Amino acid sequence: MSTDIESHVEESPLSLLMSAGLESLEAAPEGSEVEPVAPVHLDPDRPDVSQKTALVSIVIPALNEETNLGNLLAELDEALSHIRGFAFEILLIDDGSTDATAEIASKFRRVRVYSHPVNLGNGASVKRGIRLARGDWILLMDGDGQHPPKEIVKMLSLVKDKNFDMVVCSRGSSGGSLHRNLANFIYNGLASYVTSKKIPDLTSGYRLVRADALKAFVNLLPNTFSYPTTITLAMFKAGYAVHYHPFVVRKRGGSSKIRIFKDGSRFFLIILKVTTFFSPLRVFVPLSAFVGLMGMAWYIYTYLTRHQFTNMAMLALVQAGLFFCLGLISEQIAQLRFDRMPLPSQERENEPGSDDS
**What's the CATH number where 67 sits?**
3.90.550.10
Above pLDDT 70, what percent of the chain? 73
208, pLDDT greater than 90: yes
* Same domain for 157 and 60: yes
* Same domain for 209 and 143: yes
* Same domain for 235 and 132: yes
Which phi and psi angles does 203 have, rounded to 5°?
-105, 10
* Same domain for 165 and 147: yes
CA pair distance 221, 46, nearest whole angstrom: 37
Instruction: Name the domain boundary from 259, 278, 297.
Output: 278
* Same domain for 313 and 171: no
Asked if residue 167 lies in contact with residue 129, where contact means CB atoms within 8 angstroms, the answer is no
User: What is the per-residue pLDDT for 26?
Assistant: 45
Range of the domain at 86: 49-278
CA neighbours within 13 Å on the CB side: how many for 129?
32
Query: What's the number of domains the chain is made of?
Result: 2
* Same domain for 299 and 233: no
Residue 78 lies in a domain: yes
351, pLDDT greater than 80: no
* Same domain for 61 and 154: yes
Residues 296-318 have a mean pLDDT of: 92
User: What is the per-residue pLDDT for 268?
Assistant: 74
Among the ranges given (18-27, 108-117, 261-270), the one the predictor scored with the smallest mean pLDDT: 18-27
Give this prediction's pTM: 0.72
* Same domain for 229 and 305: no
User: What is the per-residue pLDDT for 302?
Assistant: 93
* Same domain for 211 and 308: no
Instruction: Name the domain boundary from 225, 244, 278.
Output: 278
Residue 32 lies in a domain: no
* Same domain for 141 and 67: yes
Q: Which of the pair, 58 or 353, is modelled with greater confidence?
A: 58
Asked if residue 186 lies in contact with residue 179, where contact means CB atoms within 8 angstroms, the answer is no
pLDDT digits (tens, 9 = 90+) for 123-173: 999 999 999 999 999 999 999 999 999 999 999 999 999 999 999 999 875
Residue 41 lies in a domain: no
CA pair distance 5, 3, nearest whole angstrom: 5
Residue 226 lies in a domain: yes
Q: Which of the pair, 43 or 102, is modelled with greater confidence?
A: 102
User: What is the per-residue pLDDT for 250?
Assistant: 85
* Same domain for 296 and 213: no
* Same domain for 145 and 66: yes
pLDDT digits (tens, 9 = 90+) for 232-277: 988 988 889 999 999 998 876 655 555 555 555 776 777 777 778 8
CA pair distance 238, 227, nearest whole angstrom: 16
CA pair distance 206, 197, nearest whole angstrom: 19
64, pLDDT greater than 80: yes
